[in-house]
Amino acid sequence: MMPHMDSMDLPEQQMPETADEIASAIFSECLITQVRSAAMLMGKVKAPATGEPVEDLPRVQLIIQQLELIDKNAAKLSLEEQQLVKQSLQELRMAYVSAAGKTPEEDLDGEASGDEQANAPTEPPAGETEPPAKTGDDSSDDDDDEEETGRKRFVKKYS
């Protein structure tokens, strides 16, 4: 016979009853899942599929950034939820420093300077730009476009 849930030695937890309590429980579970995922991505927990530790610090940075956004916009969260976000964020940052040897912000600054050069849009040579295709007779919009960009757009019209 399978033991009933009530007879198991689980910590006493009050089941959420109101809509706010349910929403708070769901939010807490989502946050805890994010923190566990980050711990796994820092090699602290073995991946369930392979049994091997995984280290993917850029993804941990993304999780930290998500939690920072939640922390910045925490005005609508309950006090308990705000404390959980702050505590989780602090623990993740400390664990990241232990794993990477630097803060996530320092790591992002180093990557951003390299990414900016690699992803910087290159200006096409003069005379090789193609104007966006226009539909219909928009001749009144040509003056507006010149004011916005500071350059005159040339459009070939067929009669």
List the pLDDT tens digit at each of the 159 positions of the chain. Answer: 444 444 445 455 677 789 888 999 999 999 999 999 999 999 888 878 888 888 999 999 999 999 999 999 999 899 999 999 999 999 999 999 988 888 777 766 665 544 444 444 444 445 444 545 545 454 444 444 445 556 666 667 776
The pTM assigned to this predicted structure is 0.56
The answer for residues whose C-beta is within 8 angstroms of residue 39's C-beta and 6 or more apart is 45, 95
Do the Cβ atoms of 122 and 115 come closer than 8 Å? Answer: no
